[in-house]
Amino acid sequence: MTETFRHSGEYPQQQSAAPVHHGGTQGGTAHGAWPPPPAFAPEEPQAPAPRRRRAKGPVALIAAVAIAAAAVGGGTAYAVQTLTGRDGGTSATSTDVVPTSKKGTVSGVAEAVSPSIVEVGAQTAQGKSTGSGVITTSDGEIVTNNHVIAGATSVKVRTNDGKTYDAEVVGTDSKKDLALLELKGASGLKPATLGNSDNVRVGDEVVAIGSPEGLTGTVTSGIVSALDRDVTVPTGEGQEQPQNPEGGWPFEFDGRQFNGDTGSSKTTYKALQTDASLNPGNSGGALIDMNGNIIGINSAMYSPSSSQGGSESASSGSVGLGFAIPIDAVKDDLGKLRSGSKT
């Protein structure tokens, strides 16, 4: 039964029931009588059609998943590789390694990252060279500077917990001053998280961890002082540890030599500059952002003890001019180093 809508919002008062006769009205068309039924029976109301959303739900879900996988397929594959393969511990983007309660603090960075930094000792014909390194896989892959192990007859690595391992030089790249070591019999180590040096800005706070003068696990802090500094260092080709007597690694900047003669075989790279204190033995160690990501491998520092001025010859130690190889350059070189290339 259908009622006619009244704009007033009222409906006619209910009339006394009158028998309805199919095919006509009782006694003609009386005021208030029910209208005659239609000439044919009204269609039975049909159940609403099943909602297409439900029918398409699984298909839509599968399609959505497929689209998402296609959009991030490369990143997903890389993420799986970093968790299960030789790239364990690395990351293409910056992550929070430091616990939230200690985020942005030097102590938080030191606590989170120190287990991933090692001391590297190389025995050469000239004596012993001490540097630092960064753990990149749990089974003992270590990134360090090439000049730390150049000309070495044997290499030993001491981890943050005091354990010592023999190490093999897997690959070297003297042009980038990088080397890759593999510890013998190591397992369960804590890999560092390699960040993104493209995101680094002048003034960013940083922490440096290494083994200056053999003091394992030394932590210093500062800021990024400059970007893209052209630093020239010896390649180490045909020479063994061309360090000066004070232990500083010689380098050139802006046409001037620091910490001794760089020799005739050299290479230049774009470096991050930092005022975090670096000293002999920090080479190969980590420059870290406040989230705990490695943004550079410390490689050179200016030591006034070997300056040409003479008036500064009595001074020694860091003066806040340190340089690090950007971590993006390191990540680009890892495949080559892992393949065993030694250049």
Residue 205 neighbours by CB distance under 10 Å: 16
Which is catalytic among the residues 87, 173, 177, 275? 177
Residue 218 near residue 284, CB atoms below 8 Å? no
CA atoms within 13 A on the CB side of 94: 13
Residues sharing a CB contact under 8 Å with residue 299, sequence separation 6 or more, in sequence order? 145, 147, 177, 231, 233, 249, 271, 283, 284, 323, 324, 325
CA distance 149 to 181: 9
Residues sharing a CB contact under 8 Å with residue 321, sequence separation 6 or more, in sequence order? 225, 273, 275, 301, 302
CA distance 309 to 68: 62
Instruction: Please state the φ and ψ torsions of residue 217, each to the nearest 5 degrees.
Output: 75, 25
Residues sharing a CB contact under 8 Å with residue 21, sequence separation 6 or more, in sequence order? none
Which is catalytic among the residues 116, 211, 283, 303? 283
Q: How many residues does the chain have?
A: 343
Instruction: Please report, in angstroms and rounded to a whole number, the separation of the first and last CA atoms in the chain.
Output: 93
Is residue 177 flagged as an active site residue? yes
Instruction: Please state the φ and ψ torsions of residue 326, each to the nearest 5 degrees.
Output: -55, 140
Q: And the tokens for 220?
A: 């210093």
Q: Is the dihedral of CA 76, 80, 81, 82 positive or negative?
A: positive
- 195 in helix, strand or coil? coil
Active-site positions read 147, 177, 283
